Structure 1
Amino acid sequence: MTDMIETAKRALGLVDLTNLNDDCTSADITGLVGRTVTDHGSVAAVCVWPRFVAQAANELKGTGVRVATVVNFPEGGEDTDAVLAETRQAIADGADEIDLVMAYRAFVSGRKGFAEEQIIRVKEALPAPVLLKVILETGEIGDPLLIHAASNVAIAAGADFIKTSTGKAAVNATLEVAEIMLTVIEEARRDDGERVIGFKPAGGIRTSEDAASYLALADRIMGRNWVSAHTFRFGASGLLDALIATIEGGGHTPNQGY
C-alpha cells in the first residue's frame, strides 16, 4: 500500500482536471477550480471548454495551475480557419495550453498532408510558452500502424504533447495505445535529444491502479526520471478523488466520467 500511496502522490501533480461535459456551467467551473489545490499538492491544469477559459484563468490566478482548453473538439473537423479563430480567442482569454483534435478522419482517409498542415497552422498561432497537445482520437483510428504514423505526423507538425483521446469516443485511452505513442516519443527523443515531447492519456482513467499502470509503462519506455508535468499528463475528471482517497488511506474510489 505504501508504494501505491507514493504513486498516487506522484500522479496527482500530473492531472489535467477536466470538465468537458456538454451541460457544464459556470458554477461547475468554479467547483472544478476549487478542487485544483489539495492538501497533497496541486494538479497540473484544468481542461475546460473554450467558453470557460476566461473564467478559469481568472479564478486560478496565483495558484500556479494552468488552463487548458480544447479546439476542433470533439469532431476533428476540417474547417481550419474556424479552428484558428477558436484557438486565437482561447489564447486571448488566457489559455496556457491548447488541446487540438487532429483531423483524424482526413488522416485515415489518406489525406495526411491536410491533417499535418492544420496542426502546423495551429502551432504557428500559439505564442510561446503556450503548449500544443494534439489529440489523435486513437479509438477511432484503430489500426496500430496508423496510430504510430499519426503520432509521428503530430510530432513533426509541432505538437508539444500527443494525447490519446477526446474522452467522447467509444474507445479512449488504453495501455496498448499508450505503448505505441510512448515508443514514438522515445524514437523522436533519440533523433532529437533537445526537443521534449509529452504524452497525455485521456478518457477512462479513473483509479489509482489505472494511473500506476500508465506511469509504470512510461517508466519502462522512457526511464524513471522522464515523467513530470512537463512531459506527462492524465486527462481525467474522477481520477483526482481516487488519488486523494489512496493517499489518505482510503484505497481507490471508482468514478465515472472523462
Structure 2
Amino acid sequence: MTEFDAKAVAERALPLVDLTNLNDDCTAEDVTALCKRTVTDHGSVAAVCIWPRFVSHAKPLLDGSGVQIATVVNFPGGGEDTVAVVQETRQAVADGAGEIDLVMPYRTFLSGRPGFAETQIARVKDACGDAKLKVILESGEIEDPLLIHAASKLAIDAGADFIKTSTGKVKINATLKAAEIMLTVIEEHWRECHEEVGFKAAGGIRTVGEAAAYLNFADRIMGPQWACANTFRFGASGLLDALLAAIDGGEAATGEGY
C-alpha cells in the first residue's frame, strides 16, 4: 500500500461514478433524490444506475445534464430466459436508458454452456441499439481466475462495450484480483483488435483509497491516460460522499491506495 493524494484521486474518480440505487425497496422519490445528487459543485457523475421501472421517471430529471441513465437487465440472478431479457432491454432503451447493465447467465457458463451465455449477450447487444452494453460477469461467483479470464473474453467477443465485476448482490463483489484479470483481457483485446472496451468495478467500493487502488490497476495495465468516463466506471451508492468530502478536505477520504 502507498500514500496517495486523496483530493486528486477524488477529483479524478468523481466523473467516473455510476451513482446507484438498486435497493429492493427503492421508490420513485428515492430516484428523484438520486438524480438531484448527480450534478455537484465539483462536477457531474457519469450516470445513475437504477431499476428499469424508474428509467422513464429519471429521464426528464436528467435531460440536458449530460448524466446518462443506466439500468439493469437479467438482474440480479443472470437467468436463462433470453427472450424476456431482450424484451426488457428494448423497453428500457425505449424508456430512455443510454446504458444497459446485463447480468451474464454465469451459471450456464460455469456449467459448461458458454455458447448460451455468448448468444444471450449478442442478442441483448443487438437490442441495445445505440445504448452501451455493460456485461456483469459476477466474478465473485465465478471465482476461478482462468474462468474469469474466459468469461471476460466471451463477453467482449459477444459485443460488450464494458465488462463489469459484480451485481453487488452476492457475497463477494468487486475485488482487485478480478479487476486485474478483466483489465488484462481488455488490454489483450486492444492489442489484438484495436477496439476499446471499458471496465466497471461495482459492489463494495466506498472509500477514496479503494477507488485509488482500482485506478492504479487501470493505469498500470492500460496506461495513465486510459481511465475516463468512456472506459472506466465505479458502480457505487456510498462512494460519492467520500469523494466530495475528500475534494472539500474532509475526513471521509478513508482507506489507503494500493
Structures share fold, TM-score greater than 0.5 = yes
User: Who is 1:152 aligned against?
Assistant: 153
Q: Describe the SS at the equivalent of 2:202.
A: coil
Whole-Å Cα distance in 2 between the matches of residues 60 and 173 of structure 1?
Answer: 28
Q: Secondary structure at the match of 1:134?
A: strand
Question: Does the CA-based 8 Å contact 2:138-2:166 persist in structure 1?
Answer: yes
> Structure 1 residue 3: deviation in Å?
2.1
Alpha-carbon distance, 1:127 to partner: 1.3
Alignment-derived partner of residue 125 in structure 2: 123
Could you tell me which runs of 5 or more consecutive residues in structure 2 were left unpaired when the two chains were aligned.
Answer: none
The one of 41, 51, 54 aligned to 2:53? 51
Which residue is 2:244 aligned to? 244
Match of 1:98 in 2: 100
Letter paired with 1:192: C
Give me the whole-angstrom Cα distance separating, in 2, the residues matched to 1:56 and 1:210. 29
Which amino acid is the alignment partner of residue 15 of structure 1? V
- Determine the C-alpha separation between the residues in 2 that align with 1:74 and 1:251: 33
Following superposition, the deviation at residue 86 of structure 1 comes to 0.5
TM-superposed deviation, 1:2 = 8.0
Aligned-residue offset at 1:163: 0.1
Q: Which position in structure 2 is the counterpart of 1:192? A: 193
TM alignment of 1:92-241, pairs within 5 A: 92-128=94-130, 130-193=131-194, 195-241=195-241
Name which of 43, 63, 83 aligns with 1:41: 43
Q: Note if 1:11 corresponds to 2:21.
A: no
Any idea what SS the aligned residue of 2:70 has? strand
Q: Is the 8 A contact 2:209 2:253 kept in 1?
A: no
Aligned AA for 1:207? T
Tell me the equivalent position of 1:62. 64
CA distance in 2, matches of 1:43, 1:142: 30
**Identity of counterpart residues, as a percentage?**
69
Asked if the contact 2:6/2:253 (under 8 Å) is kept, the reply is no
The offset of 1:92, in angstroms, is: 0.7
Query: Matches of 1:252 and 1:184 in 2, distance apart?
Result: 33
1:157-195 C-alpha deviation (Å, 9 max, x unpaired): 0000000000001000000110000000000000011x1
User: How many residue pairs are counted as aligned between the two chains?
Assistant: 252
The unaligned stretches of length 5 or more in structure 1 are none
Mapped to 1, the partners of 2:4 and 2:208 lie a distance apart of 13
> After superposition, what is the alpha-carbon deviation per residue over 1:41-98, rounded to whole angstroms, capped at 9, x for unaligned?
0000000000000111111011000000000000000000000110011011000000
